[in-house]
Amino acid sequence: MAAGPLVAGSKGQAVARRAAPVAAATLQPDCLPVTPAARLLDTLDLLSDIDRLARPADAVISAWVRGRRKMDDDDRGAILDRLYALMRHRARLAWWLDRHGREDTSRNRLLAWLALAEGRSPEQVKRLCSGGAHAPAPLTRAEQTLLVKLQGSEIEHPDMPEEVRVECPGWAVEPLRRRFGADFSVEMAALLTQPALDLRVNTLKANRPDMLRALKTLDLPAAPSELAPQGIRLNQRLSLGRLAPLKSGELEIQDEGSQLVALLVGAGPGDRVVDFCAGAGGKTLAIAAQMANKGRIIACDVNEGRLKRASERFRRAGVHNAETRLLASETDRWVKRHKVSFDRVLVDAPCSGTGTWRRNPDARWRPEDDQGLETLVALQGRILTSAARLVKPGGRLVYATCSMLTEENEDCVSTFLAAHPEFRVVPLREVAPQVTRSAHDSYLSLTPARHGTDGFFAAVLQRG
CATH of residue 348's domain is 3.40.50.150
In whole angstroms, what is the distance from residue 254 CA to residue 200 CA?
A: 6
Rama region for 181: left / alpha / beta (φ>0; ψ in -120 to 50; rest): left
Q: What is the pLDDT of residue 28?
A: 42
178 occurs within a structural domain: no
Question: Among the three residues 164, 188, 211, which one is the final residue of a domain in this structure?
Answer: 164
Q: What is the pLDDT of residue 69?
A: 78
* Segments of the chain scoring below 70 in pLDDT: 1-33, 367-371
170 occurs within a structural domain: no
CB atoms within 10 A of CB 260: 26
Q: What is the pLDDT of residue 237?
A: 73
The per-residue b/e assignment along 93-103, b for 16 or more CB within 10 angstroms, e otherwise, is: bbbbbeeeebe
Q: Do 263 and 277 sit in the same domain of this protein?
A: yes
Q: Do 294 and 428 sit in the same domain of this protein?
A: yes
CB atoms within 10 A of CB 77: 17
Q: Do 158 and 267 sit in the same domain of this protein?
A: no
Q: Do 289 and 410 sit in the same domain of this protein?
A: yes
Q: Do 244 and 314 sit in the same domain of this protein?
A: no
188 occurs within a structural domain: no
3-state secondary structure of 391: strand
Q: Do 388 and 448 sit in the same domain of this protein?
A: yes
Q: Do 228 and 261 sit in the same domain of this protein?
A: no
In whole angstroms, what is the distance from residue 79 CA to residue 83 CA?
A: 6
Closest-CA residue to 303 (of 287, 333, 324):
324
187 occurs within a structural domain: no
Q: Do 452 and 335 sit in the same domain of this protein?
A: yes
The amino acid at residue 267 is A
Note the pTM of the prediction, 2 decimals.
0.89
Q: What is the pLDDT of residue 31?
A: 46
Q: Active site residue: 129, 168, 402, 412, which one?
A: 402
Concerning whether 402 is annotated as a catalytic residue, the answer is yes
Which range marks the domain in which residue 108 is found? Answer: 4-164
Q: Do 73 and 126 sit in the same domain of this protein?
A: yes
3-state secondary structure of 200: strand
Residue partners of 123: CB distance under 8 A and separation at least 6: none
In whole angstroms, what is the distance from residue 356 CA to residue 347 CA?
A: 17
Q: What is the pLDDT of residue 367?
A: 60
In whole angstroms, what is the distance from residue 402 CA to residue 385 CA?
A: 19
315 occurs within a structural domain: yes
Q: Do 232 and 153 sit in the same domain of this protein?
A: no
In whole angstroms, what is the distance from residue 8 CA to residue 61 CA?
A: 12
Instruction: Note whether 453 and 255 are within 8 A (CB).
Output: yes
Q: Do 287 and 431 sit in the same domain of this protein?
A: yes
How many domains are there within the chain? Answer: 3
Question: Among the three residues 232, 253, 274, which one is the final residue of a domain in this structure?
Answer: 253
In whole angstroms, what is the distance from residue 186 CA to residue 233 CA?
A: 23
Question: Among the three residues 253, 269, 289, which one is the final residue of a domain in this structure?
Answer: 253
**Sign of the torsion angle spanned by Cα atoms 43, 49, 55, 61:** negative
192 occurs within a structural domain: no
Per DSSP bridges, beta strands 272-275 and 251-253 are: unpaired
Q: Do 245 and 288 sit in the same domain of this protein?
A: no
Closest-CA residue to 337 (of 321, 349, 325):
325
443 occurs within a structural domain: yes
137 occurs within a structural domain: yes
Q: What is the pLDDT of residue 242?
A: 72
